[in-house]
C-alpha cells in the first residue's frame, strides 16, 4: 500500500523521482544551463511582457514562481518554461477586446487569463485529455505559427522605427498603417535596434553559449547613457520596480471569464502543443526518463497558477530557451530552479540597471526570436507530398494573417476535423483478383494480369463501416456492379481490414444483403476479425448472411463459388465456423 502511494506521489510530483538520486556530477551541467537560460530570460522576459501589453517587470515576475512550480511538477528535465512570443501576442489579442481603462485593470485581465489557462490545462491533465491537442495537426500549427510570427514581427515595427501604429492583429491594417507612417522613422532609435538585431543574430557565431541578448541589452544601455540619447527622442524602459513579486489575485468576474475563455483555450492548446513538441524532441536525445502528456498539462497548469497569483501572465515551454538549456548541459529541472534564483537576485538588486534600456533593443530581441518561426520549407514539402495538408497550412496561414490570431487557430482546428471526417467518410476500397497460379488476391487497380471473373465481385473495405461512410461504400459498390453490366452473381466481402461496424453500418449492411439477394446477387464474407465478428453476431448479420456463406479466406470462398456454379448452393462445403465465443 505504501509503495503504491509513493508511486502515485512520484507520478504527481516528478521532482521526487530525480531529486533523491541527484548526483554531484549533474550539478555542473545544471548550473551552467541555469545561469545561461537565466541570463537569456532577463531581456526575453521583459521584451515579451511588452509584446503582451504589460510593463517589462511582469515578464521577470513570470519566470520566478512559474519556473519553480514547473520544476516540481514537470516530467521534462530540460524544458524551459516562461513567456514566449506566441503566447504574449495571444495575451495582447485576448485582452484587447476588454478595453481596459488603466494599466492596473489590464494587469488584472492578464492575471485572470493566466488563471484560466492554468485551470484549463490542469483540468485537462487531471481528466487525462492530453490527446485533445492532436486536433492541432502539424500543418495547422506550422501555418498558424508562421502567420503569427509575421504579425508579431510587424507589431514590433513601432518600437524599432518609433512610429505610431495601431494595435492590430490583421496584416492588412498593419501594412496600411506602416505605409502611412513610414516617413516618421526615428533614425537614432532605428539604428540602435539594428545594432541589437546584429548582435543577437550573429553573436552566437562567436560561441554557442555567448549571451547575445544580454550583450545587446548592455550595448543599448551604454549607448543611451553614454550619449544621453533620451534627449534626442529615444524611448527607454525607465524605472523598473525592484523586489520580489507580491501576491496578486485574478478577477473572478464571470463576464471577464466569458470574454477571455476562448483565448484562454487557444493559449492552453497552442502553448501545450508547442511545449510538448519541443519536450519530446529533447527527451528523445536523452532517453533516461519518460514524458507524460497529462502530467505535463498539470505542470503547465500549475506554472500558470503561479503567474496568476504572483503578478505574471500566461507561460509555456519555449523552443529556443529549451534548446539552449539542453545545449548548455541541463540534466534535471534543477537548471530551472537555478534560473529562477538568478531572476530573483536580479529583481532584488539589479533592476535599476535597466533604467536606460531602449525599447528598440527589446523589439530586436522579439524580432530575432520570431524570425526563425516562419517556416518556408514545410509548405514546399507538403506541396509535393500531401495536397490536403498543404491546403490546410495555407488556409490557416491566410486566415490568421487577415482575420486574426484567435480566428486563425480555431479555423485551423475546424479544418483539421473536417479533413479527418472527409477522409473517414471515404475509406479506401478495392476490387480483388487472383494472382495467376496462386491463392493470393490483390487490388486489380494496382496489379496487372490478375484473374477476374465478371460474375464474381470481390471487395475489400479498408476501414470501419459506420454512419459517416455507408453512403459512400454503397455508391461505390453500385458503381462497380453497373460497370460489369449487372452480370454480378456473387459479392465476396473481404473483411480483414474492417476494424469496426456501428449500429448504422450494421443496419445498412443488413439492408444491402436483403436487397442484393432479391436481385439474385448472393453474398459471402471472408477473413472477419474477432471483434467485428462479435458485432456481426450481436446484430444478427451473420445469421442474415448464413453461416455457410462465411469463410476463413478469399480462396475458400472462391473455390466454393466455382464448385457450385451449376447448383447455385454452398451448403455442402465446409464453411468457416462462426461462433460468438471464437476469438481471432
DSSP conformation letters of 323-376: HHHHHTT--STHHHHHHHHHHHHHHHHTGGGGTT-BHHHHHHHHHHHHHTT--S
d(CA 154, CA 214): 23
SS3 194: helix
What's the confidence (pLDDT) of residue 572? 40
Lowest mean pLDDT among 59-68, 228-237, 366-375, 525-534: 366-375
What's the confidence (pLDDT) of residue 356? 94
> Residues 150, 401: contact at Cβ < 8 Å?
yes
Scored b (16 or more CB within 10 A) or e, 66-104 reads bbbbbbbbbbbbbbbbbbbbbbbbbbbbbbbebeeeeee
Is the pLDDT assigned to residue 435 strictly greater than 70? yes
Report the pLDDT averaged over residues 356-384. Answer: 89
- At 497, the pLDDT band (50, 70, 90 cuts) reads very high
Report the pLDDT averaged over residues 189-213. Answer: 87
Report the pLDDT averaged over residues 315-329. Answer: 86
Q: What percent of the chain has pLDDT over 90?
A: 53
> Residues 257, 36: contact at Cβ < 8 Å?
no
What's the confidence (pLDDT) of residue 280? 86
> Residues 302, 314: contact at Cβ < 8 Å?
no
Instruction: Tell me the CATH number of domain 426-578, given options 1.10.1520.10, 3.30.470.10, 3.40.50.1820, 3.30.750.24.
Output: 3.30.750.24
d(CA 305, CA 250): 10
d(CA 212, CA 40): 8
Is the pLDDT assigned to residue 582 strictly greater than 60? no
Is the pLDDT assigned to residue 427 strictly greater than 70? yes
Residues recorded for the chain = 584
Is the pLDDT assigned to residue 576 strictly greater than 80? no
Give the single-character DSSP code of 428: E
- Residue written as grid cell 525592484: 242
Is the pLDDT assigned to residue 406 strictly greater than 60? yes
Q: What percent of the chain has pLDDT over 70?
A: 94
d(CA 569, CA 564): 6
> Residues 490, 522: contact at Cβ < 8 Å?
yes
Cell numbers that stand for 11 in this block: 507520478
Is the pLDDT assigned to residue 564 strictly greater than 50? yes
Report the pLDDT averaged over residues 578-582. Answer: 34
Is the pLDDT assigned to residue 159 strictly greater than 80? yes
Residue-wise pLDDT for 114-139, tens only, equals 999 999 999 999 999 888 777 777 88
Residue-wise pLDDT for 13-46, tens only, equals 888 888 888 888 889 889 988 998 998 899 999 9
Distances (CA, A) of 271 to 115, 118, 264, 346: 14, 11, 10, 27
Cell numbers that stand for 435 in this block: 494472382
Centroid of chain to Cα 582: 41
Is the pLDDT assigned to residue 296 strictly greater than 70? yes
225 φ/ψ angles, rounded to the nearest 5 degrees: -70, -40
The DSSP element (H or E) to which 535 belongs, if any, is helix 530-538
What's the confidence (pLDDT) of residue 6? 65
Is the pLDDT assigned to residue 555 strictly greater than 80? yes
Name the nearest CA neighbour of 408 among 157, 152, 114: 152
What's the confidence (pLDDT) of residue 149? 84
Cell numbers that stand for 119 in this block: 485551470
Domain residue limits, the chain: 24-420, 426-578
SS3 460: strand
> Residues 164, 184: contact at Cβ < 8 Å?
yes
- At 565, the pLDDT band (50, 70, 90 cuts) reads low
Is the pLDDT assigned to residue 574 strictly greater than 70? no
pTM of the model: 0.78
Is the pLDDT assigned to residue 584 strictly greater than 50? no
The residue that leads in pLDDT, 449 or 66, is: 66
Highest mean pLDDT among 63-77, 283-297, 404-418 belongs to 63-77
- At 579, the pLDDT band (50, 70, 90 cuts) reads very low
Is the pLDDT assigned to residue 152 strictly greater than 90? no
What's the confidence (pLDDT) of residue 409? 78
Is the pLDDT assigned to residue 168 strictly greater than 80? no
Strands of 441-443's sheet, edge to edge? 441-443, 428-434, 456-462, 490-494, 522-526, 550-551
Amino acid at each position: 500500500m505504501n509503495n503504491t502511494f509513493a508511486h502515485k506521489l512520484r507520478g504527481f510530483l516528478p521532482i521526487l523521482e530525480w531529486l533523491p538520486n541527484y548526483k554531484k556530477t549533474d550539478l555542473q551541467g545544471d548550473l551552467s544551463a541555469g545561469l545561461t537560460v537565466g541570463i537569456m530570460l532577463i531581456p526575453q522576459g521583459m521584451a515579451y511582457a511588452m509584446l503582451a501589453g504589460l510593463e517589462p517587470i511582469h515578464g521577470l515576475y513570470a519566470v520566478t514562481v512559474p519556473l519553480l512550480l514547473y520544476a516540481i511538477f514537470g516530467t521534462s528535465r530540460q524544458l524551459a518554461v516562461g513567456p514566449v512570443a506566441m503566447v504574449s501576442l495571444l495575451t495582447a489579442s485576448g485582452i484587447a477586446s476588454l478595453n481596459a481603462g488603466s494599466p492596473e485593470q489590464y494587469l488584472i485581465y492578464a492575471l485572470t487569463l493566466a488563471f484560466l489557462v492554468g485551470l484549463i490545462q490542469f483540468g485537462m491533465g487531471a481528466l487525462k485529455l492530453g490527446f485533445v491537442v492532436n486536433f492541432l495537426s502539424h500543418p495547422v500549427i506550422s501555418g498558424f505559427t508562421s502567420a503569427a510570427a509575421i504579425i508579431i514581427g510587424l507589431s514590433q515595427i513601432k518600437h524599432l522605427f518609433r512610429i505610431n501604429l495601431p494595435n492590430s492583429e490583421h496584416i492588412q491594417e498593419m501594412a496600411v498603417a506602416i505605409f502611412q507612417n513610414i516617413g516618421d522613422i526615428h533614425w537614432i532609435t532605428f539604428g540602435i535596434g539594428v545594432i541589437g538585431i546584429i548582435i543577437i543574430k550573429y553573436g552566437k557565431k562567436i560561441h554557442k553559449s555567448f549571451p547575445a541578448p544580454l550583450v545587446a541589452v548592455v550595448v543599448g544601455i551604454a549607448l543611451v547613457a553614454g550619449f544621453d540619447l533620451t534627449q534626442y527622442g529615444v524611448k527607454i524602459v525607465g524605472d523598473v520596480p525592484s523586489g520580489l513579486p507580491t501576491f496578486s489575485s485574478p478577477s473572478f468576474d464571470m463576464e471577464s471569464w466569458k470574454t477571455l475563455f476562448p483565448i484562454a483555450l487557444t493559449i492552453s492548446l497552442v502553448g501545450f502543443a508547442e511545449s510538448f513538441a519541443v519536450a519530446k524532441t529533447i527527451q528523445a536525445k536523452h532517453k533516461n526518463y519518460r514524458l507524460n502528456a497529462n502530467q505535463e498539462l498539470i505542470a503547465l497548469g500549475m506554472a500558470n497558477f503561479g503567474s496568476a497569483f504572483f503578478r505574471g501572465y500566461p507561460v509555456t515551454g519555449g523552443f529556443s530557451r529549451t534548446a539552449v538549456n539542453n545545449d548548455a548541459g541541463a540534466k534535471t529541472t534543477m537548471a530551472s530552479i537555478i534560473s529562477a534564483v538568478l531572476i530573483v537576485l536580479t529583481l532584488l538588486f539589479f533592476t535599476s540597471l535597466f533604467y536606460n534600456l531602449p525599447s528598440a533593443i527589446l523589439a530586436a530581441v522579439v524580432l530575432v526570436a520570431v524570425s526563425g518561426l516562419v517556416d518556408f520549407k514545410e509548405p514546399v514539402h507538403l506541396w509535393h507530398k500531401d495536397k490536403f495538408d498543404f491546403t490546410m497550412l495555407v488556409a490557416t496561414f491566410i486566415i490568421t494573417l487577415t482575420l486574426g490570431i484567435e480566428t486563425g487557430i480555431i479555423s485551423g482546428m475546424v479544418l483539421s476535423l473536417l479533413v479527418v471526417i472527409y477522409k473517414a467518410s471515404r475509406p479506401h476500397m478495392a476490387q480483388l483478383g487472383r494472382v495467376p497460379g496462386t491463392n493470393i488476391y490483390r487490388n486489380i487497380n494496382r496489379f496487372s494480369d490478375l484473374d477476374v471473373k465478371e460474375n464474381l465481385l470481390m471487395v475489400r473495405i479498408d476501414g470501419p463501416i459506420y454512419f459517416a461512410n455507408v453512403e459512400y461504400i454503397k455508391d461505390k459498390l453500385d458503381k462497380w456492379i453497373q460497370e460489369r453490366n449487372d452480370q454480378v452473381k456473387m459479392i465476396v466481402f473481404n473483411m480483414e481490414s474492417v476494424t469496426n461496424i456501428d449500429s448504422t453500418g450494421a443496419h445498412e449492411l443488413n439492408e444491402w444483403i436483403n436487397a442484393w439477394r432479391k436481385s439474385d446477387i448472393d453474398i459471402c464474407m471472408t477473413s472477419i476479425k474477432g471483434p467485428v465478428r462479435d458485432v456481426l453476431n450481436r446484430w444478427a448479420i451473420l445469421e442474415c448472411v448464413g453461416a455457410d456463406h462465411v469463410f476463413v479466406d478469399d480462396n475458400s470462398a472462391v473455390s466454393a463459388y466455382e464448385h457450385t456454379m451449376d447448383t447455385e448452393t454452398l451448403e455442402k462445403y465446409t464453411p468457416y465456423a462462426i461462433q460468438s465465443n471464437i476469438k481471432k
